[in-house]
Chains A and B, each alone.
Chain A
Amino acid sequence: GAVVSQHPSWVICKSGTSVKIECRSLDFQATTMFWYRQFPKQSLMLMATSNEGSKATYEQGVEKDKFLINHASLTLSTLTVTSAHPEDSSFYICSARDLAAKLNEQFFGPGTRLTVL
């Protein structure tokens, strides 16, 4: 149980295009999902908190108009990188917590590796 999937696993795109990344909780529901970014040889940094049915909250320094988040259901959150540039190349990982669980344990997706040419 407690499986989180992400699609796609990797994507290569041209500068200026937009890329959508999906995060799904496969066997549980989540009102909140988190999006993290990891640059090579670094730790994970929180980008934004995705809230089902309401606007996402973004960490300081993360442009909300560039990283669009939509949490349309209790099992799906999407991150769209708009007008991507090479500096957006990174590893993007989502996480979620089971709404029905007593514990605060979070589960992570396998990540999406974005390369912008």
Chain B
Amino acid sequence: GIQVEQSPPDLILQEGANSTLRCNFSDSVNNLQWFHQNPWGQLINLFYIPSGTKQNGRLSATTVATERYSLLYISSSQTTDSGVYFCAVGRSQGNLIFGKGTKLSVKP
């Protein structure tokens, strides 16, 4: 099956800093999503981005499908950005396969 690797596994930032999270996947996919899991466990959809670049406020994401990786950029980080960020991939209308996540801690 498809393998998904996220890096780094843990990231500690000072408030205001920028960061880049990476997601590598082992095969072609038609679905790639980034999520933020809040402290209560809810998965918040950040981006649906099987290819290309998108931006939403301080967050942006880029997927290079031909090279099988995606990047999530967080600029001017805030303490509320803390949590676990997951990358998940899938094919067509099938299930998503999740990476192990990046745990982000933003210190005031």
Contact of A103 with B86 in the complex, beta carbons under 8 Å: no
Q: From DSSP, what is the main secondary structure of chain B's interface residues? A: loop
Number of A-B contacts (CB under 8 A): 54
Contact of A97 with B43 in the complex, beta carbons under 8 Å: no
Interface residues of A in 25-53 (CB under 8 A from B): 32, 34, 38, 42-46, 49
Contact of A106 with B33 in the complex, beta carbons under 8 Å: yes
Interface residues on A, range: 20 to 34
> Of A34, A44, A106, which one neighbours B31 at CB under 8 angstroms?
A106
- Give A104's nearest chain B residue, CB to CB: B31
> Of B43, B48, B97, which one neighbours A93 at CB under 8 angstroms?
B43
Would you give the shortest CB distance from B26 to chain A, in whole angstroms?
Answer: 16
Q: A105-B45, A108-B43, A113-B41 are in contact. Are A34 and B95 (CB under 8 A)?
A: yes
Which residues of A approach B to under 8 Å, CB–CB?
32, 34, 38, 42-46, 49, 91, 93, 95, 97, 103-108, 110-111, 113
